[in-house]
Amino acid sequence: MRGGPCPAPAAPSSAHAQRPRGRPPAPGDAAGGWERVSSRAPGASLLPRLSAQARRPPVTCGGWRPVGDAGLRGSPAVPVAARGAGRRGGSGRVGAMAVNYSAKEEADGHPSGGVGVPGGGAVGGGGGAVKTRKPDNTAFKQQRLPAWQPILTAGTVLPAFFIIGLIFIPIGIGIFVTSNNIREYEIDYTGTEPSSPCNKCLNVSWDSTTPCTCTINFTLEHSFESNVFMYYGLSNFYQNHRRYVKSRDDSQLNGDNSSLLNPSKECEPYRTNEDKPIAPCGAIANSMFNDTLELYRIENDTRTPITLIKKGIAWWTDKNVKFRNPTGDGNNLTALFQGTTKPVNWPKPVYMLDSEPDNNGFINEDFIVWMRTAALPTFRKLYRLIERKDNLQPTLQAGKYSLDIAYNYPVHSFDGRKRMILSTISWMGGKNPFLGIAYITVGSICFFLGVVLLIIHHKYGNRNTSADIPN
Amino acid sequence: MAVPIRWARYRWHQLTATEDREGSSSSNSSNKCYQSSKTNGKHRIVIPCLGHFKEEYEKVSKLYMNNRIRTTKYTLLNFLPRNLFEQFHRVANLYFLFLVVLNWVPLVEAFQKEITMLPLVAVLAIIAVKDGLEDYSKYKMDKQINNLLTKVYRRKEKKYVDECWKNVNVGDFIRLSRNEIIPADMVLLYSSDLDGICYIETAGLDGETNLKQRQVVRGYSEQVSEIDPEKFSSRIECESPNNDLSHFRGFVEHSNKDRVGLSKENLLLRGCTIRNTEAVVGIVVYAGHETKAMLNNSGPHYKRSKLERKVNTDILWCVLLLILMCLTGAIGHGIWLSRYSEIPFFNIPESDGKSIPPTLAGFNMFWTMIILLQVLIPISLYVSIEIVKLGQIYLIQNDIDFYHEKTDSTIQCRALNIAEDLGQIQYIFSDKTGTLTENKMVFRRCSIAGQEYCHEENAKRLESYQEMDSEDEDSADRHCGSLTHMSKWQGHNCRDVNEPLNRKSLNQLSCSYPALGGEDGAGNFPHSGPLAFSSPIETDVVPDTQLLEKFSQISSDSYQRSKEASSKLSLETMYITDFFLALAICNTVVVSVPNQPRQKMRHSSLGRMPIKSLEEIRQMFQRLSVRRLSSSPPPSVKESSSESPSSFVRKLSIFRMKLASPALNGAAQRTAEPHHTNSPENSKVPQELDTVKVVAGCEHNGAASSIELSPLPKICYEAESPDEAALVHAARAYKCILRSRTPDQVTVDFTGLGPLTFQLLHILPFDSVRKRMSVVVRHPVSNKVVVFTKGADSVMMDLLRTASEVGTSCSEMEQKEIKERTQKHLDDYARRGLRTLCIAKKVMSDAEYAEWLNHHFLAETSIDNREELLLESAIRLETELTLLGATGIEDRLQEGVPDTIQALRKAGIKIWMLTGDKRETAVSIAYACKLLEPDDRIFTLKSQSRDACALVMNKILEGIQKNTSAKKKTSQKLGNVSTSPTTQAPGFGAGLVIDGRTLEHVLHDSIQSIFLELTEKCRAVVCCRATPLQKSVLVRLVRNKLKAVTLAVGDGANDVSMIQVADTGVGISGQEGMQAVMASDFAISQFRHLRKLLLVHGHWCYTRLTNMVLYFFYKNVTYVNLLFWYQFFCGFSGTSMTDYWILILFNLLFTSVPPIIYGVLDKDVSAEILMQLPQLYMMSQKSVAYLPSPFWMTLLDAFYQSLVCFFVPYFTYYGSDIDILSFGNPINTAALFIILFHLLIECKSVTWIHTVVIVGSILFYFVFTLAFGATCKTHNPPSNSYWIMEKHMTDPVFYLVCLLTTCVALLPRYLLRVLQGTLFPSPVLRAKHLDRLTPEEQRGAIKRWKDDCIVNCRAEFQATSGSSSSATGAVSEEESIASLLPTCKPPFQACSRDEKDTSFLPDIQDESGSTNGLNSEKTKFLNSSKETNSDTFGANNSCAKASVCASGGASSALSLAYKARLNSGLCEEDALMYFTKLEC
């Protein structure tokens, strides 16, 4: 890289400075360099240099030796021996030779003043004055970073497999037991079967004014001890359709007044109705689940309504941060939603969803739950909570119940199903045996593989642990 | 009226010209330049910007470019559009642009519009920033250069004023001082040097550090005072700007219409530095981008690596996969839609209330899917590959092992994107001189007038030098080598040396010479650093005693006597004199004095001494001869001449020892006495008494010592080629010292004759067509015109005077005899691997010369086809030559070359040697560097016609095939099944030697294929006498036809084309300038560095990059498939369950750095193991890591992992109230873990950097998603990931799902690796185990490993032994033993084998016909020898011969074996085969 026409005044001193580098036996250095790389001892890097330096003196010394019989007799042996000593790094000898060497250079009549690189020293430790292109001898640059070099053999990974197995199986059993302890009861009330009480409502449509009601009686075999969650479930309902998912305006739902009156384009074609902006706009809101479910306990032919709590079913953050009613003067929602119109399929506007003001408008929890679009076409959504009243009685005793349904939601057109689900939950949510079984299975497989590897290790593994490398 | 129009046109011209200037980039500026100058036709007229030319100047010169340069691609304004434009030349970027545009189509839009742009913008931005930074540094450099100051003549001030470089225009006068850099190409008009010479250093241009002379234009050199620009009234016409550095044509036309030719000698090139000259003035002819230096500056070149091409095909596969997936989506969507009889309300109708038909919806969905799944085509892959390559290059450049301390140079990677090709090299094409050899020419032998002088001491000196170099070599081995050297190859007049004596003297010498070297070389050694071709080994030549003796007789008397009677002795002396004169004169060496580095030697009296009249010289001679006669020769001379030469050698060395002692001073003083009484001329010689330069032969020339011992000034020779330097130094050793050289005269300090000043009439420089150079001088003594020519013997021998004329039969006969003998010597030299040159002379009469000069002058001044005319003129001159003698120059092998070649060979690389040298030289070097093994069968192709060539090649092929099949049969018979296919294929043990003329035939289309088939069977190919073009054609042939990855390595300008053609070009920054380096992709300083470069860095770079690329594909396929699987559960509607931002950033941020670190730092096997086990290279060479199968395996694994990663969460959350993004979150998180831990499984070495990066990536992911989830309430419609991550972080199921998914997904890959590691460990893996061992164990293991390979090698040995025997079959017993025994010095076997190589054909027949029957006696013998040799064979895997040599006892056994074999009628091949088999 001499390129670049930068002015380079010929410094007379540079010739002196480079002198030690131009000495004849430099090839030895390269060998030393290799040695250096191969040596594993961290301190070994100095050694090759010394030996490179020391390599010369045996020859030089020989030159000074009077040539006589000694030179003839001992000649094959002497340099070799001396060389060996130098390479072994006997420090005293090497040092002496180095001194000898540099002294000789001085004697040549070229005092290596100038740049201040002492003749002999420059070979080893010089370069301070002369900028060399020699790369830094750092671990990173020489790719000698200490590294963990995992070698995956049966022997080394055996413990890992056993450990995985030993951890997974208990976890799986725990999950499985937990899941089995969950009580769950599910009623399909779609009414596709002619025998079903809801069969009459099957072909209900959005714009039917009179609600179709039906009642389904059912019996709980086991009592539900803890709090019961009441879900409605839909099947074959693609709430995750790309364009359906997009069809909402989060700003509007967050109470942004400008978005309220001018909803996002994403809401099309449910953005405006009769030139009035729809609140809440979009297909999701428009298709909100609007069946009403009521639960009665039948005891001796008397129907006792079970208290269904409709608050606390949505995420706290959704209810309190993400969904906000429009802001304005006063708390009158009707006034706040002035200028908007209800979604097409809705029977009543959004500010009339509930009587309670903190569960009305956009912060109606049923609405919020619906707006959290389900990931899969078969899903459930939390509808109500049934709290355990006292510690003596279970939340839902075993026995007869009846479910009153105001059947408004048309699913028959796309072969959808509607369900009502009663479930208790645990720390891991609803009933799902899969995770537990999966953990047990995987744990067992790992354990089994561990055994297999153990056998393999005993049969074939030994050859790798020893230094013996067969073909 | 006409004037304004003309003015307007002129302005227009000017504008267009400037526009051209502005718009031209560095790459196409040359074209533009041509265009702009084309307006003036073919030639360019340069007129100084001065009064009387003003009008014309305005018209012409203003159209030329000024000296401002701009190498930047962009300006501030056009950076963005232009950079984008360039970036969109890439197909990948276009593809992503297409996606972005597609996303703007509302019908198919999948993401938010802006989001799709993100990856593209990121990639474009990264590249743009990189380009911008590069360009900015260029801009800064340009600015710096443009603002350099120089002195330009300005009319206003009437003097030279400081101007920036950028303001220099064509036609300006520029005055430069010493050490200034030349700002533009200019014609030299004045030099402060009295001879009109200017010295320049072209290091900035081509890296050559020796000084070059440039001359003032003829006619201007006579001026005493500095040229006055005001008075300059000439015009210069020259060729249009071009990039040919070595040619310049033009003329100066004076006002009186006289024309003076201009040549390269008159041109100062931009970028060079003025040296040794106080001041020069020149006129600018080319400026700025039109200068030759700039036109040559082609910038970095782009090569595409094989891997990159492979990656591109795989990307095409990915595209196919993508299309398939999208089609699935489209069809699925169509079917899904058609299931519904009416529009379900979750399927939003169009604005008109109707739904589009399923087919159209499916079609739209196709495009939506493409947008959604775009990540499958890894946009970041290209960026990552580039970054990884940069990192790899960085590490290569910082490897300390490539540092060469002597030259303070380390590896330069000039091409940034082909590092991984280093790991796949299958063929290496190597130049010989300077690449395998040091290109340090050492004068070894010479033959003068048919008499050989073999310079024994010189040879020994070299031996001893070698000893110092290669201390690792076994000393026994070396002795063996030198013994054979001595005993076998003694010339006819070389002394007979018996063994002990020889050894003794050798040792003495080896001891003494370094000491001497220190003393002797003191004169110039310290300054050898920056000087080319002047290391002590080159400069110190020990004269041959015999020749020295003869030399002592030379002096004036021989000259005088030659006038009277031509006795044989004096004729010989004449020859010797002329020979050394030729050596000293016939060159272009520049003399300088080292005391003041780079200062031209001003020899006050000698140099400027006007040519003396003949009388004066005669007087001088007489004076000298009287003195010579008066002093009696010292006794030592007599003694030495009477004694046996060997003892003389000893004496000499003792003498040297004495010299080295302070006693020398006395001698110097003593000899200094006559000096004072010397001729007045000599007293003017600068006296440098500190020099103790006494050469060994001084005492023999006691008589002539008066001149010789006048303190010898320290002289440095700066030669253009090492050969020249070697010859001048050789001449100097014989006291024929080149003192000075000016364009007009050469001064030589000749022992007996004193300083002779030759008037230099012409130099006909060397060119590759003529293969010779000549100087025409006027001899100061005879005053005749003498032509000295030196050149290749092949051409020189044809130019000699033939015995046509009758009458002079006596001398003619003698000439003929000399010619024959010299030819014999030449052949001998060539066989030893020496470079040969013939020296000849010719004496011309003045009339002849005048006639020739006329023609030559015409040729010189012509502009068009001047080269041809000059060539013709030269050929006309160089005829009827008288052969003086020949020289043999040794070019020593570079250190470590044989080891390197063996290692590379073991790595499965085929090595071809392409050289311009003679066949014999090439072959012997090939042996020396182990390219050819002593046992190889050598086929020589040397045919005159194409058909013959084809025939011969077919026969050879047949022979080889028969041979192999026969061998297979026998090996099967013996139950030996261990012949592994890996070594069987490449190494048959045959070598092919082919020369340039035959190559011409062979390269013809019709027989190319046969040739290639043949070369594939040979393990080494040597092409001699190959032209640069043939070299490149060969490389291209192998590269294209065999589809092999080729590497070309060379050091000289003649290798440039080959380097450029090869997949990887490696330049060796050696002695011959920088052209090869400039053209190369990698520049190294030593051939041996190739070993680490290929075996370690090549392997690493390749495996790293392939693994990274595979990993990239895996990563993208895995991740994209998650989305794909989800489509089955969302009606193929193109929903993504992950937030778009996270989806896009996943590739860009969270998982981009670990693979890059992996690609830069992963280390599968340590460097030490890779160096010691070259076999490992074959893994990458066969691109094991990147065959189709690993690619598809990777994709399969990716599919599996994505399935797991999707369906475990799917089943977990099935039927629950999970929402889309909450469903996607565990999937995404698990995918992150899977992808990162997959990398950990694949990582071969994990350093803290890996750990930091992987942990950092994971942390970054969580921090990002948490922050994103916390802040993004409404800002990111339509997807809204508000609080999802936060909620999941508190949900144990999330963790359980992630854990399970990660484990299940990675289990198979992990298991696979474990099983691979346990049951079927690959060689790399096995080698990796070695890393863990202690050094001792490691050594043992490697040895054992090699033993494995010995099985292969034995197979090879079987093959090779067959060949050797066939070659020697026809030789007499004695000779073959001689040639086989001392195998340690292969060059000397070369000849014996080589001569007989024609006999191979009948031999093959013999072998096939011979039975395999085994002589029982032989078995016994072989069995016995087995015991003695078995350990040797075991330890050394391939060079069985060498090991035999090392153990003396074994060698005798082997020789017995050979004898026995030769005596019997048994086929040698079989014998040897059994021999080796028994070894097993």
What's the confidence (pLDDT) of residue B668? 40
Residue set of the binding site of B for Mg(2+): 431, 433, 1051, 1055
Most confident of B488-492, B636-640, B725-729: B725-729
Q: B1096 in contact with A at a CB cutoff of 8 Å? A: no
Q: Which residues of B touch A449 (CB under 8 A)?
A: 1307, 1311
Q: Which of B1235-1239, B1259-1263, B1401-1405 has the lowest mean pLDDT?
A: B1401-1405
Q: Which residues of B touch A147 (CB under 8 A)?
A: 1163, 1245-1247
Percent of chain B with pLDDT over 90: 12
- Kindly list the distances between the CA atom of residue B297 and the CA atoms of B137, B205, B206, B270, in Å, as whole numbers in the listed order: 17, 9, 11, 12
Interface of B with A in 1244-1303 (CB under 8 A): 1244-1249, 1273-1274, 1277-1280, 1282-1283, 1287, 1291-1293, 1296-1297, 1300, 1303
Q: Which residues, other chains included, contact B957 with Cβ-Cβ below 8 Å and sequence gap of 6+?
A: B1010, B1013, B1014, B1017
Is the Cβ–Cβ distance between B413 and B297 less than 8 Å? no
Q: Which is more confidently placed, B1275 or B700?
A: B1275
Interface of B with A in 1430-1449 (CB under 8 A): none
What's the confidence (pLDDT) of residue B1198? 95
Q: Label the pairing between strands B834-844 and B785-791.
A: antiparallel
pTM, whole model, 2 decimals? 0.71
What's the confidence (pLDDT) of residue B351? 66
| C-alpha–C-alpha distance, residues A254 and B1276, integer Å | 13
What's the confidence (pLDDT) of residue B675? 41
Beta-carbon separation of A374 and B1219 below 8 A: yes
From A225, A453, A9, A166, select the one nearest B178 (Cα to Cα): A9
Query: Which residue in B1293, B1318, B1348 has the most chain A C-beta atoms within 10 A of its own C-beta, making it the best mutation to test that interface?
Result: B1318
* CA quadruple B1029, B1030, B1032, B1037: dihedral, nearest 10: 140
Q: Which residues of B touch A40 (CB under 8 A)?
A: 1335
Backbone φ and ψ for B440, nearest 5 degrees, come out as -110, 105
What's the confidence (pLDDT) of residue B537? 59
For residue A203, the distance in angstroms to the closest alpha carbon of chain B comes to 13
Question: What are the tokens at A300?
Answer: 């001796």
**Mean pLDDT computed over B1081-1091:** 89
Which residues are A272's β-sheet partners? Answer: A277
What is the helix (H) or strand (E) element at residue B1022, kind and residue range? strand B1020-1024
DSSP characters for B603-638? -TTTTTPPPPPHHHHHHHHHHHHHHHHHSPPPHHHH
Helix (H, G, I), strand (E, B) or coil at A342: coil
B431 is catalytic: yes
Q: Indicate if the alpha-carbon torsion angle B872, B876, B880, B883 is positive or negative.
A: negative
**Which tens digits make up the pLDDT trace of A191-219?**
888 888 888 888 888 877 788 899 999 99
For residue A377, the distance in angstroms to the closest alpha carbon of chain B comes to 7
What's the confidence (pLDDT) of residue B971? 47
Q: Report cis status (omega within 30 of 0) of the bond before A280.
A: yes
From B479, B581, B580, B597, select the one nearest B209 (Cα to Cα): B597
Residue recorded with tokens 């001064």: B747
What's the confidence (pLDDT) of residue B406? 80
| C-alpha–C-alpha distance, residues B296 and B269, integer Å | 12
Q: Give me the residue from A153, A175, A381 closest to B1317, CB to CB.
A: A153
Q: Which residues, other chains included, contact B711 with Cβ-Cβ below 8 Å and sequence gap of 6+?
A: B672, B675, B685, B687, B688, B689, B691, B693
- Residue A382: pLDDT over 60: yes
- Residue B692: pLDDT over 50: no
Average predicted confidence (pLDDT) for chain B: 71
Q: Which is more confidently placed, A30 or A137?
A: A137
- Residue B1394: pLDDT over 50: no
- Residue B637: pLDDT over 50: no
What's the confidence (pLDDT) of residue B1013? 86
Q: B1161 in contact with A at a CB cutoff of 8 Å? A: yes
Q: Give me the residue from B475, B508, B1220 closest to A375, CB to CB.
A: B1220
What's the confidence (pLDDT) of residue B1277? 61
Q: Which is more confidently placed, B691 or B543?
A: B543
| C-alpha–C-alpha distance, residues B96 and B1454, integer Å | 71
| C-alpha–C-alpha distance, residues B536 and B554, integer Å | 28
Query: Which residue in A78, A149, A164, A371 has the most chain B C-beta atoms within 10 A of its own C-beta, making it the best mutation to test that interface?
Result: A149
Cβ atoms within 10 Å of B510's Cβ, excluding its own: 25
DSSP characters for A240-283? T-HHHHH---HHHHTT-HHHHHS--GGGTTSSEETTEEBSS-SH
Q: Which residues of B touch A149 (CB under 8 A)?
A: 1163, 1244-1246, 1328, 1331-1332
Beta-carbon separation of B1212 and A153 below 8 A: no
CA-nearest residue to A39 within chain B is: B1335
Q: Which is more confidently placed, B347 or B1117?
A: B1117
Q: B1330 in contact with A at a CB cutoff of 8 Å? A: yes
What's the confidence (pLDDT) of residue B1226? 94
**Mean pLDDT computed over B1405-1428:** 36
**Which tens digits make up the pLDDT trace of B645-680?**
444 444 444 444 444 344 334 444 444 344 443 434
Interface of B with A in 1172-1201 (CB under 8 A): none
CA-nearest residue to A174 within chain B is: B1296
Interface of B with A in 872-911 (CB under 8 A): 895-896
Beta-carbon separation of B1303 and A438 below 8 A: no
Which residues are B412's β-sheet partners? Answer: B1083
Question: What are the tokens at B1119?
Answer: 């991740």
- Residue B1015: pLDDT over 80: yes
Beta-carbon separation of A133 and B1214 below 8 A: no
User: pLDDT class for B1044, splitting at 50, 70, 90?
Assistant: confident
Q: Which residues of B touch A71 (CB under 8 A)?
A: 507-508, 511
Q: Give me the residue from A376, A438, A464 closest to B1321, CB to CB.
A: A464
From B1043, B1047, B1063, B1088, select the one nearest B912 (Cα to Cα): B1047
Beta-carbon separation of B1135 and A64 below 8 A: no
What is the helix (H) or strand (E) element at residue B159, kind and residue range? strand B159-164
Beta-carbon separation of B1216 and A157 below 8 A: no
| C-alpha–C-alpha distance, residues B105 and B115, integer Å | 14
From B243, B291, B295, B298, select the one nearest B270 (Cα to Cα): B291
| C-alpha–C-alpha distance, residues A447 and B985, integer Å | 46
What's the confidence (pLDDT) of residue A440? 96
Which residue out of B431, B793, B828, B1164 is catalytically annotated? Answer: B431
Interface of B with A in 1105-1134 (CB under 8 A): 1129-1131, 1133-1134
Q: Give me the residue from A62, A145, A250 closest to B1274, CB to CB.
A: A250
ipTM > 0.90, yes or no = no
- Residue A293: pLDDT over 90: yes
Q: Which is more confidently placed, B95 or B62?
A: B95
Percent of chain B with pLDDT over 70: 67
| C-alpha–C-alpha distance, residues B1336 and A277, integer Å | 85
| C-alpha–C-alpha distance, residues B134 and A143, integer Å | 27
Q: Which is more confidently placed, A173 or A129?
A: A173
Q: Give me the residue from B511, B1297, B1332 closest to A63, CB to CB.
A: B511
User: pLDDT class for B312, splitting at 50, 70, 90?
Assistant: confident
For residue B274, the distance in angstroms to the closest alpha carbon of chain A comes to 11
- Inter-residue long-range contacts of B776-781, CB under 8 Å, 24+ positions, other chains counted: B776/B844, B776/B849, B776/B877, B777/B585, B777/B746, B778/B611, B780/B611, B780/B612, B780/B617, B780/B756, B781/B559, B781/B614, B781/B617, B781/B753, B781/B756
| C-alpha–C-alpha distance, residues A149 and B1324, integer Å | 13
User: What angle, 0 to 180 degrees and rounded to 10, lies between the N-to-C axes of helices B846-861 and B866-877?
Assistant: 170
SS3 content of chain A, % helix, strand, coil (to 5): 45, 15, 40
Q: Which is more confidently placed, B362 or B203?
A: B362
Provide the 8-state DSSP code for B565. -
For residue B614, the distance in angstroms to the closest alpha carbon of chain A comes to 42
From B286, B42, B67, B52, select the one nearest B187 (Cα to Cα): B286
| C-alpha–C-alpha distance, residues A375 and B1211, integer Å | 12
**Which tens digits make up the pLDDT trace of B693-724?**
333 333 333 333 333 334 455 677 777 677 78
Beta-carbon separation of B1130 and A26 below 8 A: no
Interface of B with A in 254-283 (CB under 8 A): 270-271, 273, 275
Q: Give me the residue from A19, A247, A453 closest to B526, CB to CB.
A: A19
Query: Which residue in B592, B1299, B1300 has the most chain A C-beta atoms within 10 A of its own C-beta, making it the best mutation to test that interface?
Result: B1300
**Which tens digits make up the pLDDT trace of B1293-1318?**
999 999 999 999 999 999 998 888 88
